[in-house]
Structure 1
Amino acid sequence: MWFSDRAKETVKEINISISGEMVENIPKELIAANSMYRMVETILLRDESNIEQINEEQLFAILNGMIADIFSACFTNLPQVIIVKCHESVIEKREASVKAAAKLLGKTTKIIERLERCELPSMDPDKMAHVDEWRHYLKQSIP
């Protein structure tokens, strides 16, 4: 419960500091805090009746799986991100945008190769890029 409360508080603090404005680059702390909050809430909902019966190894395995699923969702979305970066409409920004896309692709090539060896769940490919869809899928697959 502490992690959930702390994450919620961090999200509130960051939202206040950016005054609710849309920002081009979302602070990494906001992304991390929001992810931590959602993971803790998912674990609490999943094991609502028997939270005390989970030992450290089981909790680690659950967290490990959740983090892997989040990364999978992010990497599934990479082709669309790279395409968008390469199609920058303003010519002055296009060169820098294409360089950023190439750098992103270079950094993730090995990860993508490893992911291709893994079996993805039977989800709609358009939904795979959304963490909420993965959460929904995982909730349905838990006995």
Structure 2
Amino acid sequence: MDAVRKDVRRLVNKELEAANKRFPQFASPHEGQNVVREELEEAERAIVPLKLYIETRMWNMVKANQTVPKDDFKAIREAAVNLAVEAIQVAAMAKKFEHGQRNNWPGAREDSHGEEKNRAGSGNSDNHHEPTGGGSGKDRL
């Protein structure tokens, strides 16, 4: 399980890196929260077909003492993979939000006190091979 968790964390970083290449850092907490929320909504929608196959189709076959069709198992696996991809995107955008917050929202013009930001030194000191920058919108991923 630890190896899988480590692989998932690598995929989160890979997803974040890809999004950062396509889109700038979030301009504000509002933008970041909206993007994270959008990804969560996509994950919630991705679970619907998975639940349908497991709770309805598979269960009905089991109750009837029938063999679950091979295509149903393939559909379950694909739906689970789609859910995992969406969950990875949620994690990546949450990490992007964290980076923006830690860097005092590099996409914004002013800090929370209304003073001009000093952009020097506002880079990502915790980069773990993740460029600063970001992503928003569905087409980023």
Instruction: Give me the TM-score of the superposition, normalised by structure 1.
Output: 0.36
* More RCO (CA 8 Å, sep 6+): 2
TM-score, normalised to structure 2, is 0.36
